[in-house]
Copies of this chain bind each other. A is one copy, B any other.
């Protein structure tokens, strides 16, 4: 080891050996929160864990036992890097519910849709490339993009999702500065974290903008089937085959413990995704594939999704009712499906600075800053209603009310004294993201 290496980091003798991209792998804010929020006395409105207890375990046990008895040697063995053909056919049936017509040969089974995000990023992103995403966007997608040294450019949303005119402006501005835009990443339905849904008209318009500009769309749709009152608009992939990579998962409609998701990709891209999948894991778990395949064959899986929809609809209602009752001075989104409500705090509250006090009051949330690559989001918090019961949700919102009221009282006390800057931990970010300008 050279002296220079030793000087770098006394705790890690390999400090100077990491790849350049490794610098982009930093712990997300959500990660630290998981540790805090796992204490039983804390009401966690932070995580995104589905309520798997609503899944009858007999259904899973029956599927497992049948797989082991009838296809044990296949379930225990390596499989193909693309996934089991019959399972890919069944995935077509799931996607058909959102208007997608496709060929099983274009489906790649992945270790959760998270791994599809990783593989797509590995295939497409060079250092300095741009990924356009909603602002705010899914935190662990942005962690991956950054881990391949790409920059995220956030396009703003309103209650109908990403704003097409803003997208046009961002593309023009990025191109004018010579940046290469590789992907348009979107969670169009019941977005994480904002809970909003891209309207059908905007889906068409955004696809058109992407087509005009030769930008590949990465449509991430974990929540689409978890609508409350009425079906969401069909997937963007339903009207555009060649310009969309579509990602789906069984984590929310069945259970995340199997780590089973998929990508549906244009044919040539699919071939490369399979190679990347083989390099990364040789093959996705045969066992998990067959168990889910058996479950889809035998169980009434659509009725099970209805059960989940009912559970989450009730919890969403509990959350927005409690917000209306206790915190009418705030504003929030009222999602038509999915897991999340996006709350805007009154100025000048700072969601990140407020979090330790919230945890002291035994309620956890995710500060909005986690969902921006550019420091925005201090005025926002993401509240999850997927896992806690309606009673816990009401309790959590009551505790949150105590916190917010305490903050507002504190701010009022110190108003005009100059102490506010410290309390808030810095100014709001309202200028364009640094990676754009």
Contact = CB atoms under 8 A, between A and B. Distances in A.
A350 interface: no
Contacts of A97: none
Contacts of A20: 126
A308 to B, nearest CB: 13
B112 A281 contact: yes
A281 B143 CA distance: 12
A39 interface: no
Given A57-B72, A279-B140, A122 B19 contact: yes
Given A111-B281, A114-B281, A275-B27, A12 B288 contact: no
A427 interface: no
A268 interface: yes
Contact of A77 (B52, B61, B285): B52
B242 A13 contact: yes
Contacts of A129: 19
How large, as a class, is the contact surface on chain A? 35 or more
A73 to B, nearest CB: 5
A187 to B, nearest CB: 15
A123 B280 contact: no
B52 A73 contact: yes
Contacts of A18: 123-124, 272
A275 B21 CA distance: 12
Given A115-B281, A147-B276, A257-B76, A268 B12 contact: yes
Contact of A78 (B68, B69, B256): B256
Interface string A51-88: 01101010011001100110011111111110000000
A184 to B, nearest CB: 12
Contacts of A22: 122-124, 272, 276
Given A19-B124, A19-B148, A266-B14, A285 B282 contact: no
A359 to B, nearest CB: 19
A257 B25 contact: no
A164 interface: no
Contacts of A123: 18-19, 22, 25
Total copies of this chain within the assembly:
2
Given A114-B281, A122-B147, A76 B64 contact: no
Contacts of A148: 19
A11 to B, nearest CB: 6
Contact of A282 (B13, B15, B114, B275): B114
B49 A257 contact: no
B266 A115 contact: no
Contacts of A124: 17-19, 22
B216 A279 contact: no
Given A15-B268, A75-B257, A118-B281, 15 more contacts: A2-B214, A14-B269, A17-B124, A19-B123, A19-B124, A19-B125, A25-B272, A60-B76, A61-B68, A64-B64, A64-B65, A111-B259, A122-B147, A259-B285, A285-B285
11 contacts: A17-B182, A20-B126, A22-B124, A25-B276, A27-B275, A60-B72, A60-B76, A64-B64, A76-B255, A112-B282, A257-B287
The 4 closest A-B pairs by CB, nearest first: A12-B268, A76-B255, A1-B214, A52-B76
Interface of A: 1-2, 5, 9, 11-15, 17-22, 25-28, 31, 34, 49-50, 52-53, 55, 57, 60-61, 64-65, 68-69, 72-81, 111-112, 114-115, 118, 122-126, 129, 140, 143-144, 147-148, 182, 214, 216, 242, 251, 255-259, 266, 268-269, 272, 275-276, 278-288
